[in-house]
Structure 1
Amino acid sequence: MNKTLAGSSDYQPIPPPRPQPPVEWSTGLCDCFSDYDNCCLTCWCPWVTFGRTAEILEKGSISCGYSGLNHFVYGRLYSVYYRRKMRSQYNLKGNNCLDCLTHFFCNRCALCQEYRELEKHGFNMKIGWHGNVEQQTRGVAMTSTAPTVEKGMTR
């Protein structure tokens, strides 16, 4: 029977899905003041903004503190890698050269834009990857199970 299927002229392999065209960023590079708190944080402590973003992009495999320290030490070169990673994960417009130029000339604006992009994708940046996962699983558990009633309670 396998020989019949393999030799059948009716067999057509399923083509891979067509790649979707890249989409625009949800906010512009210079929209920093739309989120005043993030703008101030990034102005004074860009490694914190970067650390939060990197933790989400790495799905919690590295901590915010470790990423922030790396940004503090390696600076913009480290940021370019994560901007490219974000573009790849969310199919955002841009290219490697633009990523380098953006972080070289507008590092803090780029960090703010990346932070806002992840917020638009539903992440609470202040609680990190594990906090977001816990929040999502807690919400699923609450809706999928009925509350328990303890025995012994009477009116």
Structure 2
Amino acid sequence: MMQQSPDVLDNLDLGVPWTTGLFDCFQHPTNAIMTAYLPCVTFGQIAELLDEGEMNCALGSYIYLAMMPALCSHWLMGSKYRAKLRMKYHLVEAPFPDMVFHIYCPCCALAQEFRELNNRGLDPSLGWRQIVEQQMENPPPDQFMAR
């Protein structure tokens, strides 16, 4: 077995850890219950934020719901948006690929994604439009407009 030098390991960029674990569902109990009964709604909320309003919550929910009975193929959309979230925030894909999380534990994966967005200041339950309106009303203090 070939050993890698410390320089190679130091340059390996794995990403940053998630703010919560996969099974920390009850850190946000309202979402945990919603996701357990209506995972399609949680998916729609996540998709709306990650698509920056291009897909609304209702359409995302419908697509996810329609894919559930179709050979249980909802994991395709779930893993696609989990990867999109990971790329956006440079999150680590561990200990399994995104697809595995959405095949074997889709509700836990959706709840973790919801919490990640929420912990980063984007409450998926508000929707894209309301988040943008809030950001326009309350811009970060270190930003200003100049002529």
Taking structure 2 as the reference length, the TM-score comes to 0.79
Structure with higher helix content:
1
1:47 to 40, 48, 51: 40
Identity among equivalent positions (%) equals: 36
Aligned pairs, number:
127
Paired residue for 2:6? none
Query: Cα offset for 1:140?
Result: 3.0
1:29 to 9, 16, 22: 22
Query: Cα offset for 1:106?
Result: 0.5
The 5 Å alignment of 1:73-88 reads 73-74=66-67, 75-88=74-87
Separation in 1, partners of 2:45, 2:27: 19
Whichever residue aligns with residue 38 of structure 1, its letter is N
1:61 to 54, 67, 74: 54
Paired residue for 2:111? 112
Whichever residue aligns with residue 101 of structure 1, its letter is V
The superposition leaves residues 74-112 of structure 1 with CA deviations (integer Å, 9 ceiling, x where unpaired) of 2221111000111111100007x6111111000000000
Separation in 2, partners of 1:112, 1:57: 15
Query: Cα offset for 1:126?
Result: 1.8
Runs of 4+ in 1 over 2 A off after TM superposition: 18-21
The 5 Å alignment of 1:111-150 reads 111-140=110-139
The superposition leaves residues 24-78 of structure 1 with CA deviations (integer Å, 9 ceiling, x where unpaired) of 0110000011111000000000011000000000001110000111111122211
Larger Rg: 1
Whichever residue aligns with residue 55 of structure 1, its letter is E
Structure 2, unpaired ranges of 5+: 1-10, 68-73
Let me know the Cα RMSD of the aligned residues. Answer: 2.3
